[in-house]
Structure 1
Amino acid sequence: MKKVGIIGGSGFIGSYNTKKFLDEGFKVKVSTTDILKKDKYQHLLTFKNSENLEIVQLDVQNKQELVDFLQDCEIVIHGGTPFQLDVKDLRTELFDPTIKGTENFLEAVLKTSGIEKVVFIASVAAYNTNFPLLPDGKTEGEQVTETDVPFMSEQGHPYAQAKFIANQTVNKFIADNPNLSFEITSVSPVGVMGKSLSDRQDSTSTGIQYLFQNKIAPNPFIQMLYDMDVLWALVDVEDVAEGIYKAATTKNIHGKNYLLTSESYRVSDISLLLNNQSPLGKSKVVYSNDLAKKDLGLNFRPADVPLNSYSS
């Protein structure tokens, strides 16, 4: 029975990852930032095969804790970077955990024997920090694909900038270490939607769905989405977990970064769908998922599936 270590395995996407690997017969080690805050991870203990689950406290900025966490894992999933839109201290809350955490993780992986595969949960921001807007140079009707030159703008949201830089850090590490004994693969989900597996109230993905459902704008960024009626690319959280599992168990895909994406809808139509109403417009495919379909054998659910799931 192989063991997978999942950094960030109790969050919105992470919980689906933990459930998927447990369902597939893996031993699963999940990190939590504070072992005393059981409300953050206790829902994982209700999953099938949870006797094969281990919860470990981990600070991704602590190099020794990272080394200890990686011991005896054949597969490691790194999804432990905070998805936050409202941040008071950019460095301590966002940039250090995201970028420094990635650097420390890569350093720790190099010191650990027995690892066969590393999967990074990157972000669509690795390809476009303007998301959900199009990258500069693209117009509506044009698709964004993995072959495009990644677009970075300092006008992008700080979260997007942090994820872009973290992805560049991974790419540089791969280039600087051509003879690794393990594969590194990344996945870049667009806007992840669906029903949470926990009652946690700190998920930004779940929070965005709540805001869209109720047409609430707590900050200028969300208000801009309504004002522009932005075309927002969506993907089902279950499809993201399936994509991460396939990336972790498929060989000969070292160095690739897969867009995980389904259809795009206007924010006004997303609001309708979240309220079990029919959209007024038609969905479009803004981000290409051809590579994930080809290499990983994924079939992405239509975008209305996770939106209806959230509201059910």
Structure 2
Amino acid sequence: MQKVLVTGASGHLGFSLVKLLQERGYEVTAAVRDANDAKKTANLKKLGVKLVSADLGDRESLRKALQGQDGLFQVAAAFNLTAKDPQKEVVEPNINGTRNILEEAHKAGIKKIVYTSSIAAVGTIAEGETPLNESTWNDSAKEPYAISKTQSEKLAWELSKKLGLNLVTVLPGTILGPQFTQPTSSLKLIQDILKGQLPFAPKMTFSYVDVRDVAMAHILAYENPSAQGRYIATGETLSVSQVCRLVKEIHPKAKTTGKELPSFIVRVMPYLDALKHAVTGLDRQINSEIVQDYLQRKQEYNSDRLAKEFQWKPIPVRKSLQETVDWMLSTAV
């Protein structure tokens, strides 16, 4: 039986990956920042997997977690739209965390590593431009998370070459789907549509994928000896306006028109969002860097590597959205 460590196991993708690995007969160790956090580990405990505390900034905790493992799924990453110093709170932790875990994995003799990157490390296109593929890097990113994912993945490949690691990277799109306890920033968009907090849509276009398909992409990359390099794991590309209309079809009580906002209004949204955060304490949903990177741009990719090499076929986005909405309504998330 293969023994594998999954970092970031309490997150949306991490949990789905742990669950699927367990179903396929792996002996899974789920790494979370604090294994004693009852709220964040409740669902993992129900699965009966081994839980360990591990922080990407703490090499000793990583060393202990990696001991005796055959493989590593490096999923954990910092994401914080409210960071006062994004460089220190997002970019540096993700870069340093990548270095720490890959160097410790090398020392532990880990046989294979699947590293979760993001299509944020690939970039976007303007209307009419050619779709991107795995050969592209998002070197012009302004948004801190996109910067961190680009630089972190580049570092992962540098370390792979230097240390001789058996590394594959998976680059998910905007993740939808059920099986979460706390909504991620992409899921909060759906939540806002349901709650009537997004009556109009910014002119932005994203590429969507179900969390279970991303988990499967990781496992296919791990199980296939022929897997190498980067694999974009995403499905259909939809504008926020289209997503609003789909959610409205699925749940007619959703208070959204789906009409697109003029771009000059979208550029003001980060300031209004910051004010809302300051007054209510609610999480930030948009900042000026997101507007710079995504306004009037598209996440569109020409990549069928996963499909061609491993017969990977993502769930249609409408079905994924339906199950996301159903999960939100049934769990009152």
TM-score by length of 2: 0.78
What residue in structure 2 maps to residue 150 of structure 1?
137
Give distance in 2, aligned partners of 1:212 and 1:43: 26
The unaligned stretches of length 5 or more in structure 1 are 129-133, 218-222
Aligned twin of 1:60: 56
Q: Which residue does the alignment assign to 1:206?
A: 187
Q: State the match for 1:79 in structure 2.
A: 75
> Which residue is equivalent to 1:95?
91
SS in 1 for 2:232: strand
When you count helix as a share of all residues, which structure comes out higher?
2
8 A contact 1:10–1:18 mirrored in 2: no
1:192 has 2:206 as partner: no
The aligned counterpart of 1:20 is: 20
Q: Is the 8 A contact 1:83 1:204 kept in 2?
A: no
Residue pair 1:263, 1:303 contacting (<8 A) in 2 also: yes
Measured against aligned partners, the alpha-carbon deviations of 1:231-283 in whole angstroms (never above 9, x if no partner) come to 211011111011011111111323x11111111111011112223169999xx
Aligned residue pairs total: 283
Whether the aligned pair in 2 keeps the contact of 1:263 and 1:285 (CA below 8 Å) is: no
How far residue 285 of structure 1 moved from its aligned partner, in angstroms, is: 8.8
Change (3 A) 1:293 1:285: farther
What pairs up with 1:204-243 in 2 under 5 angstroms? Answer: 204-214=185-195, 216=197, 226-228=201-203, 230-243=204-217
Partner of 1:246: 220
Counterpart residue identity of residue 190, structure 1: G
Q: What percent identity do the matched residue pairs reach?
A: 23
Highest Rg: 1 or 2? 2
1:43 equivalent in alignment to 2:38? no
- In 1, the alpha carbon distance for the partners of 2:11 and 2:80 equals 12
Deviation, 1:289, is 3.4
Q: From the superposition, tell whether residues 99 and 262 of structure 1 become closer, same or farther in structure 2 (CA, over 3 Å).
A: same
What is aligned with 2:34?
Answer: 34
Q: Which letter maps to 1:167?
A: E
C-alpha contact 2:117 2:171 (8 A) present in aligned 1: yes
Separation of aligned partners in 2, 1:299 and 1:119: 19
Matched to 1:194, the amino acid is: G
RMSD between superposed Cα atoms in Å: 2.5
In the alignment, is the contact (CA less than 8 A) between 1:192 and 1:234 conserved in 2?
A: yes
Residue 87 of structure 1, CA deviation: 2.0
Equivalent residue of 1:59, what SS? coil
User: What are the ranges of 5 or more consecutive residues in structure 2 without an aligned counterpart?
Assistant: 260-297, 327-333
- Once residues 198 and 145 of structure 1 are traced to their aligned partners in structure 2, the CA distance between those partners, rounded to angstroms, is 29
